[in-house]
Structure 1
Amino acid sequence: MIANPSLSTASSAEHLAAAATHGAPTHDPLPVVIGSARGAWVTDVEGRRYLDLLAGSPATAFGHRHPRPVAEARAQLNRLTVTSRAVHHEHFGALCAALAALCGMEMALPVTTGEEAVRAAVAAARAWGHRVKGVPAGRTRVVVASGYLPEDDAVSAGTGAHPPGCTVVPYGDLAAVAAALDAYAGETVAVLLEPVGGEAGVRVPPPGYLPGVRELTRSHGVLFLADERWSGLGRTGATFACEHEHVAPDLYVLGTALGGGVLPVAAVVSSAAVLGALRPGEYPPASGGGPLACAVALEVLAMLREGEPQRRARERGEQLHHELAGWVGAGAVREVRGRGLWAGVDIDPALGTGREIAERLMRRGVLVKDTHGSTIRIAPPLVISAEDLDLALEQLRSELVPAGTDRG
């Protein structure tokens, strides 16, 4: 029998040892144990404070314990938290209507996680392709240019692996999308891509790419699925990253920022023709769209309608990129990409991997995420103040561009 001692007063070392011994090795987190958080700051169990530039990938895009979604959650906890999808509850229809209005669509499917939302989007596209477009069941194909599908981690690493029923093409390559659509003209039902490649290290597509994909999907009679799990809901300074290119997709995939940092909530939003092609039981989310989740998400949507998160992302994003632009070619920094309050920074591999840089920054009191070898991803909560962002940038500069370093 495995002992289960209380760790309520344990040290970070004891928590880390328990996780290493009894936790399945599905992740490789930084060796920090968070005990509390507020806004853009987190505090470990020993009381050390860190500026959180991780944004919870992207669950805490609106910061930790934001008072508005927290207040909604507290009120709902005293009324109703979870119901079966075999019945209705008072917030479900309201959330679906609010999501549809925000996206300029007609229907929504609330789910729990971003990965589940991608699966739901693909399922809806295939149902539409079969029932509306007439592609035989089992032969529907999706062109993936986003660099990520939950069914195959190799895709997120850009290896070109092909999960079942998908054609994977390089991100940002319009000719590759066109070639895939031509090659599988009778089977392809959709193109799935990220308007900004978050999982791949904040890859901003080349000019004309998104409008070009939109035109290709229209001319081939297939759907454009915008994976806005990372880039949507204010992160880039607009409600959706597609807006920067004046592109309207056929379907939005929204990530866990919808949960306001309180609990995981995600969604798929599209037209009645697309989501209406699904049938009861064809894609049954296990727990998506419960009363607590919907109540919190409704408050997040109210915040987005007011425009404050988008404004803060624009203003703090200008501050972030103005500073980072001056580091390119100096010290360890080789390239900086991003949009809004979001950046990918490529590090000279000779000076350290992304993970090594992330651990050094952790010791300086700043948390960032390494991704794809020698890249770090910077994604502060949208509520971060100008002063706190300056403090974080000061620590980043000290680690990546030491005093006296010349530009290469």
Structure 2
Amino acid sequence: MTDREDGPELGKATRLVEAGRKREWVSTPGTKGAVVNPPVWRASTHLYENSEDLVGGRPNEDGHFYYGRRGGPTQWALADALTELEPGADGTELFPSGVAALACTLMAVLRPGDELLVTDNVYEPTRNIALSMLRQFGITARPFDPLDPDAFAAMIGEKTKAVMLENPGSLTLEVCDIPALTAIARDRGVLSIIDNTWATPLGFPALQHGCDITVMSLTKHVGGHSDLMMGSASAAKPVINRVRRQAQFMGQVVSPDDAALALRGLRTMSLRLERTASTALAVAQWLSSRTEVAAVLCPMLPGAPGHELWQRDFAGGCGLFSFVLKDADIAARARLIDALELFGIGFSWGGFESLAIPFDPAPVHTLRPWPPGIDEGSGLGVRLSIGLEDADDLIGDLDRGFAAMGAT
């Protein structure tokens, strides 16, 4: 723990340990010692020294007491840590959920009359924000095919002010060429926003790949224990200042207790990502050999759609992927999922426990009905979130599920 002088760039795991542990976050002024973790500062009221101090005000940046809605040392330490982990970022704003981070970020950069282009395989709540909520404020949105950069370039018009990206795509896990798309956007003066929850900056440093704002659901990998809800947006100045001001207008704030939980989860995130990605790859390889499976949608898997781009642009992955059943109906898929003992049935992902939920790939896209290279299957999918269990145990559980699926 230190306010480190400039020197050789630290490795990812070391950065996770050191980030957000400035001496002012972990010690009391005037004392020589320090604690390992920033204390939980619970306070709605921040006091001024005197009337002159009150009149002088405080800068609108983390690290300056003002009022509880602007956070305190616990929240500032988390925001500082996330900024340190995102190369190219000057600041991070925290939100009570990932969806809140997405909605507030979009409202910060768009105005009535503007247009947003949103990737066709985006997270469903993001699609709803873009195509429904923003419409109430006079902002239009159109989906685009993330696998067709030329068509994307042709869609950009005078009113286009931002593009919403996600890589890989939600549920169907296509990998798009982010550097190519962001270069097109930047050349036309369009801001690029990405939901980078899947890979985190450890696996995909989004700002270095041309994005202007990177949003994460901290509920997932950062929290890691399925016990908190939180989101973040990170960017360079002056863009992060626009996001911060919008968040303050909307009264966005996170609990210091939840921030402390997120900081705790952050320290082990690299280990958990490596373990879940490794186990997911083993499970994906096993699934690819099953006759009941039409396709495994896992960009980490050699031969899977998007694997080459994943190898080029990503430094790591995670435990989230999907597969499509070949010959099954809804009842058969339900038998498979209901027979699982180690996979819970529930939304979210990125926790220590494995989860499985059904999804139907066809309705997910409006422009491209299937991921590339897949022209067969029942049209029924299963999304898996691989946790920290042993790979052999999860494979055995899925084997029981397939046996139940085939039973009549």
User: TM-score category by the smaller chain?
Assistant: 0.5 to 0.7
The one-letter code of the counterpart of 1:300 is: G
1:351 is paired with a residue of what secondary structure? coil
After superposition, give the CA deviation of every residue in 1:67-93 in whole Å (9 maximum; x if it has no partner). Answer: xxxxxxxx99x9655747445422122
Report the TM-score when normalising by structure 1.
0.62
1:221 maps to 2:174 = no
Please tell me whether the aligned partners of residues 183 and 210 of structure 2 are also in contact (alpha carbons under 8 angstroms). no
The one-letter code of the counterpart of 2:90 is: E
After superposition, give the CA deviation of every residue in 1:313-366 in whole Å (9 maximum; x if it has no partner). Answer: 332132122212212xx23x2111114422211123x5213x751453223424
Partner of residue 118, structure 2:
144
Alpha-carbon shift at residue 265 of structure 1 (Å): 1.2
Correspondence 1:192-271 to 2 at 5 A = 192-198=164-170, 201-205=171-175, 209-229=177-197, 231-233=198-200, 239-241=202-204, 247-255=209-217, 256-257=219-220, 258-260=222-224, 261-271=226-236
Partner of residue 358, structure 2:
370
After superposition, give the CA deviation of every residue in 1:79-108 in whole Å (9 maximum; x if it has no partner). Answer: 655747445422122111111111121111
The one-letter code of the counterpart of 1:369 is: I
Number of equivalences: 290
- Unaligned regions of 5+ residues in structure 2, if any? 1-35, 45-66, 132-137, 300-316, 345-355, 362-379
1:293 maps to 2:254 = no
Tell me: CA distance 1:272–1:283, structure 2 relative to 1, closer, same or farther (3 Å). same
Correspondence 1:151-166 to 2 at 5 A = 153=128, 164-166=139-141
Please tell me whether the aligned partners of residues 96 and 108 of structure 1 are also in contact (alpha carbons under 8 angstroms). yes
- Unaligned regions of 5+ residues in structure 1, if any? 1-74, 127-136, 157-162, 403-408
Task: Give the RMSD, CA atoms, in angstroms.
Answer: 3.3
Correspondence 1:92-111 to 2 at 5 A = 92-104=75-87, 105-111=89-95
- Residue 395 of structure 1: which of 388, 392, 400 is its match? 400
Moved more, 147-156 or 213-222: 147-156
Tell me: CA distance 1:279–1:393, structure 2 relative to 1, closer, same or farther (3 Å). closer
Distance in structure 1 (CA, Å) of the matches to 2:340 and 2:283 = 18
Partner of residue 70, structure 1:
none
Correspondence 1:99-138 to 2 at 5 A = 99-104=82-87, 105-126=89-110, 137-138=111-112
- Residue 175 of structure 1: which of 143, 150, 159 is its match? 150
Distance in structure 2 (CA, Å) of the matches to 1:246 and 1:277 = 20
Moved more, 334-343 or 109-118: 334-343
Question: Between the two proteins, what is the percent identity of the paired residues?
Answer: 18
Alpha-carbon shift at residue 215 of structure 1 (Å): 1.9
1:378 is paired with a residue of what secondary structure? strand
- Say which structure, 1 or 2, has more relative contact order (CA 8 Å, 6+ apart): 1
